[in-house]
Amino acid sequence: MAREISYREAINEAIASEMERDDSVIVMGEDNAGGEGSPGDMDAWGGVLGVTKGLYGKYPGRVLDTPISESAFIGAAIGAATRGMRPVAELMFIDFMGVCFDQIFNQAAKFRYMFGGKATTPVVIRTMYGAGLRAAAQHSQCLYPIFTHIPGLKVVTPATPYDAKGLLIQAIRDDDPVIFCEHKALYDLTGPVPTESYAIPFGEAEVVRDGDDVTVVALGRMVHMATEAAGQLAQAGIECEVVDLRTTSPLDTDTILESVERTGRLVVVDEATPRCNIATDVSAYVAQHAFGSLRAPIEQVTAPHTPVPFSNALEDLYIPDAQRVVNAVKAVSDWKA
């Protein structure tokens, strides 16, 4: 039913429902249980922003606090996954992923391939990303393009509470390693979420708004910037079709092409820095496969190629907003050869 909960609660509910359904699902990470290395009592933190709060009490023994050593506990989660567990490991900030790249890129992503399909690695690495919380350059990046680049990983970027629950349930049930990217500025966003369990298949973009004039492809928090812009543009007589990718790997190229073949115009909105990001990837794909349909050059709305600034004013300027999407849509609409 139409019950509204937050993005944070939706993630918690997804983990809880899968822990209930499947004893092999475990949670591990820093401060998931008690914080500061304590045994984890009633004051369990549930991770640094409280996303897994309450799980320790419900599933004692299955929510594990780990030392502040990502290389160790991500490696442990991946190893446990190969032996039949379904670990949901919380790696606090995506920015910290660098210390365990070998475990992720060279081990988890390769096992299925290198063991000829005899090994599966059903691990989920939950991690928060994105700017907007005044957390500075080392805690604010959008690094999902790096994982999207690696064959063998699935990469998920939910934009709404409904998608967060359904995509995380799919991630936990999936037999491949999944990098589940949670935008930290969306945790308090509320929306309708069924109480029942449901899985949203990977590689299926959501058309969140229909329109015939311009296709706007977005992901994560940028979906909301795009829909806000589309609302303003509709008043000016420009109807945008807003496509939320939901997963960057696999990528739903069919939905993107179908839309662009109809509209002939594409704007891609990506909070990541502009080189080798999702905007460039989608743009290149469309340019190659739907060139004949394009009636204007593709526009990309992204962050600038700089670290995320700590200054409030500069951080606000850094993050793509609805106005920049509006400008880009107008540019492709008005373009003349």
Partner 1 sequence: MPDDRIQHVTMPKWGLAMTEGKLTAWIVSEGDQVATGDDLVDVETEKISGTVESSYDGVLRRIVAQPGEDVPVGGTIALVAPAEVPDAELDAVAAEARRQIDAGEVAEVPGPVLGRTAAGISYATAGPAGAPADEPVVLVHGYGGDANSWLFVQEPLAERRVVHAVDLPGHGASVKDVGTGSLDELVVALLGVLDATGTKRAHLVGHSLGGAVVSMVAATLPERVASLTLVAPAGFGAEADVEYLTGFASAASRRELKPLLGRLFADESQVSRSLVDDLVRYKRLDGVEQSLRLLLGTMVVDGRQGLDIAPRLRDVPVPRVVVWGAQDRIFPAAHATAVPGALAVHIEEGAGHMVHMERPAVVVAAVEEAVAEAVAASS
At residue 64, φ and ψ (nearest 5 deg) are -110, 130
> Do residues 283 and 268 make contact, with C-beta atoms less than 8 angstroms apart?
yes
* Contact between residue 265 and residue 296 where contact means Cβ atoms under 8 Å apart: yes
Q: Which is nearer to partner 1, 195 or 312 (CB)?
A: 195
User: Interaction with partner 1 in 176-195: which residues (CB under 8 A)?
Assistant: 194
Q: Please select the residue that binds partner 1; options are 198, 297, 310, 323, rule is CB under 8 A.
A: 198
Q: Is the dihedral of CA 90, 92, 94, 99 positive or negative?
A: negative
Residue 7 in contact with partner 1, rule: CB under 8 A: no
Nearer to partner 1, 40 or 166 (CB): 166
The DSSP-derived string for 97-130 is GGGGHIIIIIIIHHHHHHTTTS-----EEEEEE-
Q: Count residues contacting partner 1 (CB under 8 A)?
A: 17
Q: Which stretch binds partner 1 (CB under 8 A): 82-90, 151-159, 251-259, 277-285?
A: 251-259
Going residue by residue from 127 to 146, which x/- string records binding to partner 1, judged by CB under 8 A?
Answer: --------------------
Q: How far is the CB of 25 from partner 1 (least distance, A)?
A: 15
The residue among 60 and 201 lying less far from partner 1, judged by its C-beta, is 201
Bridging pattern class, strands 4-6 and 25-29: unpaired
Q: Nearer to partner 1 by C-beta: 197 or 293? A: 197
**Minimal distance, residue 62 CB to partner 1, in Å:** 21
Distance of alpha carbon 172 from alpha carbon 219, whole angstroms? 21
Q: Is 120 in the site for partner 1 (CB under 8 A)?
A: no
Where b means 16+ CB within 10 Å and e means fewer, 195-226 reads eebebbebbebbebbebebbbbbbbbbbbbbb
* Binding of residue 2 to partner 1 (CB under 8 A): yes
The mark string for 201-240 relative to partner 1 (x by CB under 8 A, - otherwise) is x--x--x--x------------------------------
Q: CB of 158: closest distance to partner 1 in angstroms?
A: 14
In order, the DSSP letters of 268-299 are EEESS-STTSHHHHHHHHHHHHSGGG-SS--E
> Whose Cβ is closer to partner 1: residue 196's or residue 334's?
196
Active site members: 139
Which residues, 6+ apart, have CB-to-CB distance to 55 below 8 Å?
Answer: 12, 15, 16, 19, 27, 32, 44, 46, 62, 63
Contacts with partner 1 by CB under 8 A lie at: 1-2, 162, 166, 194, 196-201, 204, 207, 210, 254-255, 258
